[in-house]
Amino acid sequence: MSEQLEKLKEQLMEIDNLRSAAALLYWDQATYMPPGGATARGQQIATLNHISHEKFTSDRMGELLEDLAWYELESPYDSDETNLVRITRLKYEKAIKVPSDFMAKISNHSAASYQAWTKARPANDFSTMLPYLEKTLELSRQLADFYPGYEHIANPLIDRSDEGMKAEQIRLIFSELRSKLVPMVNAITNQIATDVSCLHGDFPEQDQFQFGNMVIKQLGFDFNRGRQDKTHHPFMTKFSINDVRITTRSKDDDISESLFSTIHEAGHAFYELGINENFNATPLGSGTSSGIHESQSRLWENIVGRSREFWEFFYPKLQSAFPGQFDSVPIDQFYKAINNVERSLIRTDADEVTYNLHVMMRFDLELDLLVGQLAIKDLPQAWNERFRSDFGIVPTDDSNGVLQDVHWYSGTIGGAFQGYTLGNILSRQFYDRATQTHSEISTEIANGKFDTLQNWLREQIYRHGSKFTPNELIRRVTGNELSIEPYIRYLWGSMVNFISYRFCLLWTDGEDFQVLMLDKFSLCLPISG
């Protein structure tokens, strides 16, 4: 290994140490920090981000990358060294376009905005957040303008979290997905409502927390390299490959919110904990995109965590953990309750079928804000109108509407939400590939064994970190491009169990079939076979 490559790694480790320290300060801010520390904390995080950005965009970094350019020309494309140089160079070329002072300004503002949001949401006070959000929009536009030549102002912001994706491409994916989801939502929600009363009762917060920890430990979460704490809005963060933190929140009268947010964030953690240790403290040492990351959180939360096999193993344990709550509740009733489909207000609580409608709405509102078609002051009204149009219901207040998600209040506007739906789509593509390779996975899940699935995901996805672009990784793992069809097929196959109508499967063209729902009405939904 060349001396210059070692010097590059040393420089990158120093930068990563600064960024990890900033992440630790943010984690503390979101978990244990007293409210009075908000102003100083914002300054501390901003200072560290300013220094790390200056070091990464320094002339010294540029010189090292220039000296190492031959790796990209002469070494195999798949080699770790080649990709370290390549990915670092790509990130460097993007980073040098943005002044360090500006990055510090964003960081400082985001910290202050987040702290204000933690008070504004429970108080249902959007007016408090109005000046913060207007400033966030201004900074988001300025950030995009550092990357001139874009086709859409959102593109540079989307690229920061989902490399290679553009607004128009996402619009097309979302339009196709929406055309299949809307009739599915209508078909399911026109049925007699599922009884979800078993999910509500007296569930002490600490008992929920302990049960969630037991579940994710069984799934493979390593508490020697991670921990879980409580926060206002669940998230995952890391300070090294061997120190990954997740958070959750709970309601004393609802068993589902804490449990599924815990599994969701554990899915993110599995990705980070599974990365090749040699990539630690380098640009390769993190997940490759928001969409790929969300594919793992949603795979574990929904495809595994809401499956019948999963609960064949965990339901008796849930009954033991909460004596008397589920004694008279058959597993079938519980299973239907956690997979209930309904038009609801809160994205993080939404079922698998309606969830993506929440994401699409936020994505469209982001674009409208960025291009100036929507003013921040009009955002609550626009939110409620879109909700009425998409869901047939209207938020009762802003805390259950425009204030519910932390993303716009702790980061930029643009690129914040599309990864969730991209992740949903990819979660099924990846899981289908895993079960094609290992048909025993479903049986193992029913027996509380998750090693085969974990090992496959680690080998195919996790260990690579950011070595490959999202599109490269998708092709390597699945042999195909991103496609909504496996996801739609999965949703329909799952939800058909909760619909009381009779079905007839009609094959067409030898490849596609249609599901015809009969009795009170007829509806055709094309699903690839």
Give the whole-angstrom CA distance, residue 314 versus residue 478.
30
265 is catalytic: yes
Over the range 160-197, which residues count as b (16 or more CB within 10 Å of their CB) and which as e? bbbbebbbeebbebbeebeebbeebbebbeeeeebebe
CA nearest 25: which of 85, 135, 114, 141?
A: 114
Categorize the per-residue pLDDT at 387 as very low, low, confident or very high, splitting at 50, 70 and 90.
Answer: very high
On whether both 266 and 127 belong to a single domain, the answer is no
Q: Which of 124, 141, 158 is the last residue of a domain?
A: 141
Q: Which of 141, 159, 192 is the last residue of a domain?
A: 141
**Does residue 504 or residue 216 have the better pLDDT?**
216
On whether both 174 and 137 belong to a single domain, the answer is no
CA nearest 374: which of 188, 182, 134, 144?
A: 134
* Phi and psi at residue 525, to the nearest 5°: -125, 110
At residue 287, does pLDDT exceed 70?
yes
Please state the domain count of the chain. 3
Categorize the per-residue pLDDT at 277 as very low, low, confident or very high, splitting at 50, 70 and 90.
Answer: very high
At 75 the pLDDT is: 85
On whether both 136 and 172 belong to a single domain, the answer is no
Q: Are 213 and 261 in contact (CB under 8 A)?
A: no
The number of CA neighbours under 13 Å toward the Cβ of 98 is 27
Rounded to 10 deg, the angle between the 38-56 and 80-95 helix axes is 120
Residue 96 covered by a domain: yes
CA nearest 456: which of 468, 470, 444, 469?
A: 444
Region 250-271: mean pLDDT is 96
At residue 510, does pLDDT exceed 50?
no
* Phi and psi at residue 247, to the nearest 5°: -135, 160
- 3-class DSSP string for 97-120: CCCHHHHHHHHHHHHHHHHHHHHH
Residue 528 covered by a domain: yes
Residue 427 covered by a domain: no
At 93 the pLDDT is: 96
At 340 the pLDDT is: 93
Which domain, by its residues, includes 290?
Answer: 167-419
Residue 369 covered by a domain: yes
At 193 the pLDDT is: 84
CATH code, domain with 209: 1.10.1370.30
At 499 the pLDDT is: 54
On whether both 183 and 122 belong to a single domain, the answer is no
**Does residue 21 or residue 516 have the better pLDDT?**
21
All residues at 6 or more sequence positions from 130 whose CB lies less than 8 Å from its CB, including other chains:
376, 377
Distances from the Cα of 27 to the Cα of 41, 233, 236, 238, 497, angstroms: 11, 12, 9, 9, 41
Region 132-138: mean pLDDT is 98
On whether both 49 and 187 belong to a single domain, the answer is no
CA nearest 116: which of 99, 129, 105?
A: 129
Q: Which of 10, 151, 163, 265 is catalytic?
A: 265
On whether both 196 and 99 belong to a single domain, the answer is no
CA angle (422, 512, 424) in 5-degree steps? 15
- Per the document, the length of the chain is 529
Span 433-478, pLDDT tens digits: 999 999 999 999 999 999 999 999 999 999 999 999 999 999 999 9
| Edge-to-edge strand list for the sheet holding 236-240 | 226-230, 243-248, 236-240
At residue 527, does pLDDT exceed 50?
no
On whether both 508 and 388 belong to a single domain, the answer is no
Region 15-27: mean pLDDT is 96
Residue 152 covered by a domain: no
Region 82-102: mean pLDDT is 96
At residue 521, does pLDDT exceed 80?
no
Q: Are 524 and 514 in contact (CB under 8 A)?
A: yes
On whether both 411 and 529 belong to a single domain, the answer is no
Residue 430 covered by a domain: no
All residues at 6 or more sequence positions from 166 whose CB lies less than 8 Å from its CB, including other chains:
151, 152, 155, 158, 159
On whether both 128 and 175 belong to a single domain, the answer is no
* Phi and psi at residue 416, to the nearest 5°: -85, -25
Span 194-247, pLDDT tens digits: 899 999 999 999 999 999 999 999 999 999 999 999 998 899 999 999 999 999
Count the neighbouring beta carbons within 10 Å of the beta carbon of residue 356.
25
pTM beyond 0.85: the answer is yes
Give the whole-angstrom CA distance, residue 418 versus residue 416.
6
On whether both 221 and 353 belong to a single domain, the answer is yes
Helix then strand then coil, % of the chain, to nearest 5: 65, 5, 30
Q: Are 233 and 408 in contact (CB under 8 A)?
A: no
At residue 377, does pLDDT exceed 80?
yes
| Edge-to-edge strand list for the sheet holding 523-528 | 503-508, 512-517, 523-528
Residue 478 covered by a domain: no
Query: Look-up: residue for tokens 């040393």?
Result: 10
On whether both 408 and 333 belong to a single domain, the answer is yes
In a 3-state reduction of DSSP, which class is residue 273?
helix
Least confident span in 67-81, 327-341, 352-366, 487-501: 487-501
Share of the chain above pLDDT 90, in %: 86
Span 423-439, pLDDT tens digits: 999 999 999 999 999 99
Give the whole-angstrom CA distance, residue 160 versus residue 174.
19
Residue 236 covered by a domain: yes
Give the whole-angstrom CA distance, residue 290 versus residue 268.
10
At 72 the pLDDT is: 87
Average pLDDT, the chain: 92
On whether both 311 and 242 belong to a single domain, the answer is yes
Q: Give all strands (DSSP E) within 281-396, no chain letters.
A: none
The number of CA neighbours under 13 Å toward the Cβ of 235 is 18
At 496 the pLDDT is: 62
Q: Which of 83, 106, 141 is the last residue of a domain?
A: 141
Q: Is 455 exposed, middle or buried, given 0-12, 13-18 or 19+ CB atoms closer than 10 A?
A: middle
At residue 394, does pLDDT exceed 90?
yes
Q: What H or E segment, with its residue span, contains residue 428?
A: helix 418-437
Categorize the per-residue pLDDT at 262 as very low, low, confident or very high, splitting at 50, 70 and 90.
Answer: very high
Span 304-341, pLDDT tens digits: 999 999 999 999 999 999 999 999 999 999 999 999 99
Region 17-44: mean pLDDT is 94
